[in-house]
Structure 1
Amino acid sequence: MPTYLSARRSTTVYDGLLPARGRLRGAAAGVVLATMLAYLLPSRLIFPPLSDLGKPGIMLALGLLVWWGLSRLHPTLCTTGRQPMRWAIAGYLVTIGASYIAAQSRGMSPLESNGAHRAMITALAGAGMLLTAADGVLTRERIDHVLRWLCWGGTVMALFALSQFALRRDFTTYLRLPPLLAFQRDLIGFDARGGGGLVRVAGTAGHYIEFSVLMVIGLVLAIHFARYSVSRRDRQLYGAVAVLQAGVIPISLSRTGVLALAAAILLFVLVWPLRTTFNVLVVGCFLAAAIQVVRPGLLATLRALILAGDNDPSVRGRLEDYDFVGPYIRERPWFGRGYGTWLPSLYQLLDNQWLVTLVTTGVVGVTGLVLLFLAGVVLAGRVRRFAGAERDRDLAGVLAVALGVAAVSAFTYDALYFTTYLLTVHLLLGLVGALWRVTRAERINQSQGAP
């Protein structure tokens, strides 16, 4: 009969009945490296022979998928036991695969076919990040290790953006490694907006909107470490990281950044004590006052963009998209036109990932994507409900909020097109699965009389 009184109990993961053999060594290092390649290198830096698929983060994530798949074939290398996130990503891949098959049956132009192939391979790269994190990051310490690296990747991106905004110079142009990598297109650069010499910046991200969303996600993670790091020095350090990432959100001059920040605050009201929420809001008010002093007009410009409503061309264009895509949706409501086949060069740019998903994968595909996000949020909710340690409950709440922010912000841009967003979301989903496995094992060990 299996025993749970092992001397290695604190670092061994169990599935509740039998020991889960977790020997996918180096998995945490693999997902960290893929994340850092996405955050530290410009989004448009590629390995030229592979075009869009030649982004270093995507290539490594595909390698992680192969690594994970090979580990499943070996009796002592695979991580056994229950893992709900495996089923969630499998269900999502089935829905987009069904839309791909439906597109093949209707016939596609060469451009559409290429787009579908690229999109499917990119989706598999995201699955590689999720599965490697869920089945390879096997201890609580390793989960924190990966998330700390994610915070620092966001910090470097924020520093690049801050230097762009302050100096009007793009240092990301020096982040190339010839002859291996080359810029696919011109970098996104600066975009004058709002007058007064203001420009929006994106750091190393693929777009200003993506940058603002990533900063909000990094902010909520940094706040967790500012509250629960062991040493006072680390708490102060991550507090400074949180202030930096919060401070650069306005310089993207993106309404989506404000929407993501508002969503994070509203969701944190549900998971944080009232006093903690109040303290964070007070710090936010002081930070807003400091931004107003250092760069007068920035917050006023951002407020004007938010209050413009239908008078803003970008808002009006997003509203007109619904009328434009209506006939396409009615033509193929269930499986859509095919995953990855909606190309702006052929049709029209849709700044709404949920609308793109409805057009390309139909109701079935939207259901798959909703269930993928929902699986992560519900699983994090179960961890928050049953975990014994306060820091575990808080981390579960933070991961649920980060996924909620990612899902809500996807209404304002074609989020899954952007590499860093895609890899970040799949990493967070995978770490939710890893946290669920670890906390569940701890409860089972304790119920079996472990000290």
Structure 2
Amino acid sequence: MRSPAGHADWRPLLLRRWWTRRDDVTPVILRPHRITATGLAIAFLVLQFMIPARLVIGGMGAVGRPSVAMGLLFAFLWFLSMLQPGGLPAGRQPVRWLIGGFVGVQMVGYAVGMARLPVEVEASAGDRYMILIVSMAGVVLLLADGVRTREHLNTILRVLVGLTAVMAFTGILQYFRIVDVTRYIRIPGLTANRDLFGAGVRGATDLTRVAGTANHYIEFGVVLAVVLPLALHFALFAPTGRKLIAWCQVGLIGAAIPMSISRSAILTTVVAIALLFMVWKWRLRYNAAVIGLVALTALHFLTRGLFGTIISLFRHADDDPSIQNRISDQAFVYEMWSQRPILGRGAGMILPDRYLLLDNQIFVTLIGGGILGVVALISLFIVPYMMARSVRLRAVTEEGRHLGQALAAALPAALMASFTFDALSFATFTGLVFVLVGVVGALWRLQGDRGERTLEWSPDDRCVAPPAFAPGHPRWSTRFLAKRSSPAS
């Protein structure tokens, strides 16, 4: 059989390849891949959220979480980059100074604590605390100086929101007693640092309260509440193909927060959402209020008694032993602080077994680090908040302005939560806070924000209201100004 003229490579239809062969294509597994800060940050988040907090590297105690080991690697890599000419981004980066000062204060507190010759258990606790601080500093610096583009930053934050939604889903499964996934997670090389912190009960009706992959119910609820503004941001600005997934993530996170049955989680949620509401346009506020009310009603019917239990936690707070213990602790805190008011008794050396269980990170830091330590801790939240607010006011795009406010809402909420439990004793919450600080530093750098641009807004913005004193704000319209400047006035 002869092939048609001019078609020497002709093949019968059944013998033809249905795919196009390209000799210049290399299989994905054989392609050279460059390790980037974005990839390292995503790996850190996966280890931080997906591995239960009780699983650690043997012999390292509470700081033996794989994510902490990665943070130490990040600190080493950043240090090597600093030694190379041009290894770090040019220009000012307030987060570097913030973290440098914070680590410096912790080192001074550690030295002061060692100088008073603490017992072995306190000294070991101080060692572990400093390892954690250096690790978290590495995470912040990797993000603040290593993320190259806004798209990479958005990828990191989307992964953060997605992993938080998975964490929320594990909590929902625990609440409805379908399955406790954390019981079946076994990772070679990791050992349990403590007993399984499974579902508990609270309230007169013994409702189930859950912790997901976190170390405690409070930590679980607070972490979800802090991430909620970011989840809302990516849902509002998601492209058409991602909207359903983005809103499902918001639903999972929002639904799981009350399942922790924690006052801290509810207060953190209120603060975070209130700060985000501040920049929304009235139409969006109205829509959010209606949708939120419908969602709460549906959740109420699905979880009978849950909201009644939460309301009773606030209504009967005066009779709650945990509240009374926090109030009675103030005298002890003042007595201990007055002995070493400036530098404290030693950073990370205040142990519940030797002193008192203080459900307040500010109190713990006041005793351990003195006034200097408290100032450093609060600055860790306030400085990034101010940077995020600067981005909200001066970013060129609406998406950038809203992301700045979402981060600005998360940080004060996390600070408020630190007044309600010993926050830095919980690795998932601690890692989240330092990730947010690093993300703010990266966003501030990538937006090119040096506080020099005018206030930005656009009448076409769907979500973000204009800053009150922005040029051209409707409140300061020509008609209004003309009325104010007329002789009749």
Could you state the TM-score of these two structures normalised by the residue count of structure 1? Answer: 0.90
Partner of 2:133: 123
Partner of 1:213: 222
Residue in structure 2 matching 1:334, options 342, 348, 361: 342
Partner of 1:175: 185
CA distance in 1, matches of 2:183, 2:85: 46
CA distance in 2, matches of 1:54, 1:104: 22
Q: Alpha-carbon deviation of 1:274?
A: 2.6
CA distance in 2, matches of 1:76, 1:97: 28
DSSP 3-state at the match of 2:85: coil
Partner of 1:75: 85
Query: How do 1:4-403 residues align onto structure 2 when only pairs under 5 Å count?
Result: 26-167=36-177, 169-178=179-188, 180-229=189-238, 231-403=239-411
The percent of aligned pairs where both chains have the same amino acid is 37
User: For each residue in 1:328-370, what CA deviation from the matched residue of structure 2 results, as whole angstroms up to 9, or x when unmatched?
Assistant: 1000010111101100111111100111111110100111111
CA distance in 2, matches of 1:226, 1:182: 37
CA distance in 2, matches of 1:249, 1:169: 18
User: For each residue in 1:393-417, what CA deviation from the matched residue of structure 2 results, as whole angstroms up to 9, or x when unmatched?
Assistant: 0000000101111111111001111
Q: Alpha-carbon deviation of 1:327?
A: 0.9
Q: Alpha-carbon deviation of 1:271?
A: 2.3
Higher Cα Rg, which structure: 2
Residues 95 and 437, structure 2, Cα contact 8 Å, conserved in 1: yes
Q: Alpha-carbon deviation of 1:195?
A: 3.5
CA distance in 2, matches of 1:372, 1:443: 20
- Supply the RMSD in Å over aligned alpha carbons: 1.7
DSSP 3-state at the match of 1:186: coil
Higher relative contact order (CA closer than 8 Å, sequence separation 6+): 1
CA distance in 2, matches of 1:51, 1:106: 24
Change (3 A) 1:279 1:104: same
Residues 25 and 136, structure 1, Cα contact 8 Å, conserved in 2: no
CA distance in 2, matches of 1:441, 1:293: 47
Residues 218 and 242, structure 1, Cα contact 8 Å, conserved in 2: no
Q: Which amino acid aligns with 1:62?
A: L
Q: Alpha-carbon deviation of 1:275?
A: 2.4
Residues 268 and 277, structure 1, Cα contact 8 Å, conserved in 2: no
CA distance in 1, matches of 2:197, 2:419: 22
Name which of structure 1's ranges 169-178 and 382-391 shifts more when overlaid on structure 2: 169-178
Name which of structure 1's ranges 268-277 and 139-148 shifts more when overlaid on structure 2: 268-277
Q: Which amino acid aligns with 1:249?
A: I
Q: Which amino acid aligns with 1:181?
A: L
Residues 390 and 449, structure 2, Cα contact 8 Å, conserved in 1: no
Q: Alpha-carbon deviation of 1:443?
A: 10
User: For each residue in 1:293-344, what CA deviation from the matched residue of structure 2 results, as whole angstroms up to 9, or x when unmatched?
Assistant: 1121111011111211120011111111111222110000101111011001
Could you state the TM-score of these two structures normalised by the residue count of structure 2? Answer: 0.83
CA distance in 1, matches of 2:349, 2:299: 42
User: For each residue in 1:262-281, what CA deviation from the matched residue of structure 2 results, as whole angstroms up to 9, or x when unmatched?
Assistant: 11122123222232222222
Q: Which amino acid aligns with 2:47?
A: L
Q: Alpha-carbon deviation of 1:442?
A: 11
DSSP 3-state at the match of 1:167: coil
Change (3 A) 1:271 1:25: farther
Q: Which amino acid aligns with 2:406?
A: V
Q: Alpha-carbon deviation of 1:168?
A: 5.6
Q: Which amino acid aligns with 1:196?
A: T
How many residue pairs match? The answer is 420
CA distance in 1, matches of 2:381, 2:451: 25
DSSP 3-state at the match of 1:222: helix
User: For each residue in 1:20-69, what CA deviation from the matched residue of structure 2 results, as whole angstroms up to 9, or x when unmatched?
Assistant: xxxx9511111111111111110000011222221111111111111111
CA distance in 2, matches of 1:134, 1:426: 11
Residue in structure 2 matching 1:421, options 421, 429, 447: 429
Residues 68 and 128, structure 1, Cα contact 8 Å, conserved in 2: yes
Residues 56 and 190, structure 2, Cα contact 8 Å, conserved in 1: yes
CA distance in 2, matches of 1:168, 1:183: 23
Unaligned runs of 5+ in 1: 1-23, 446-451
User: For each residue in 1:166-204, what CA deviation from the matched residue of structure 2 results, as whole angstroms up to 9, or x when unmatched?
Assistant: 1264221211213x1111111211211114341110100
Q: Which runs of 4+ in 1 moved over 3 A?
A: 441-445
User: For each residue in 1:280-299, what CA deviation from the matched residue of structure 2 results, as whole angstroms up to 9, or x when unmatched?
Assistant: 22211111101111121111
Q: Alpha-carbon deviation of 1:432?
A: 0.7
Q: Which amino acid aligns with 1:121?
A: I
CA distance in 2, matches of 1:337, 1:228: 47
Q: Alpha-carbon deviation of 1:76?
A: 4.4
Q: Which amino acid aligns with 2:411?
A: L
Partner of 2:473: none
Partner of 1:432: 440
CA distance in 1, matches of 2:52, 2:343: 34
Unaligned runs of 5+ in 2: 1-33, 454-489
Q: Which amino acid aligns with 1:199?
A: T
Change (3 A) 1:338 1:282: same
Q: Which amino acid aligns with 1:406?
A: A
Change (3 A) 1:197 1:322: closer
